[in-house]
């Protein structure tokens, strides 16, 4: 699970501009603890790199029952999303001493981790020109 925590550390950088697509991400099962929902979009090349900058990202207040995040100016392509609900707003994906998550998290296509984050192939989806939408349920 330490690899899962490292995957969430690089999730707070701004979105690049001047591209053609918009992606609306509806995140369900938001916990009443609030905090910040941290969403990051990666291509295959950056998915497994703990220190890679996301293609796009957003940090928004987490609101029950569904929080909607819009990522703009994305180049059409194949991507995966990593996200977590940062209850205490410390910018980190918190875990207990065993490495088990203390905050809710999720991946595109609702892929579940197996000892570490799911593979890009299990999370990938296509963003086309114009408006795109996906829904992710926090785990």
Mapping DSSP onto H, E and C, the string for 55-101 reads CEEEEEECCCCEEEEEEEEECCEEEEEEEEEECCCCCCCCECCCCCE
- Bridge-based pairing of strands 105-107 and 56-61 is unpaired
Give the chain's domain count: 1
Report d(CA 21, CA 39) in Å as an integer: 17
pLDDT digits (tens, 9 = 90+) for 64-106: 999 999 999 999 999 999 999 999 999 999 999 998 999 999 9
> Is a pLDDT exceeding 60 seen at residue 12?
no
Q: Residue 131's domain spans which residues?
A: 2-137
CA atoms lying within 13 Å on the CB side of residue 55: 25
The pTM (predicted TM-score) of the whole model is 0.85
């Amino acid at each position: 699970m330490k690899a899962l925590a490292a995957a969430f550390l690089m999730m707070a950088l701004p979105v690049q501009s001047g591209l053609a697509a918009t992606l609306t991400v509806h995140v369900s099962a938001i916990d009443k603890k609030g905090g910040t929902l941290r969403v990051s979009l990666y291509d295959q090349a950056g998915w497994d790199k703990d220190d890679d900058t996301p293609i796009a990202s957003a940090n928004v207040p987490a609101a029950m029952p569904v929080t909607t995040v819009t990522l703009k100016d994305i180049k059409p392509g194949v991507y995966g999303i990593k996200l977590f609900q940062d209850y205490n707003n410390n910018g980190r994906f918190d875990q207990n001493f065993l490495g088990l998550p203390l905050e809710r998290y999720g991946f595109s296509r609702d892929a579940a981790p197996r000892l570490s984050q799911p593979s890009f192939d299990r999370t990938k989806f296509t963003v086309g020109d114009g408006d795109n939408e996906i829904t992710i349920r926090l785990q």
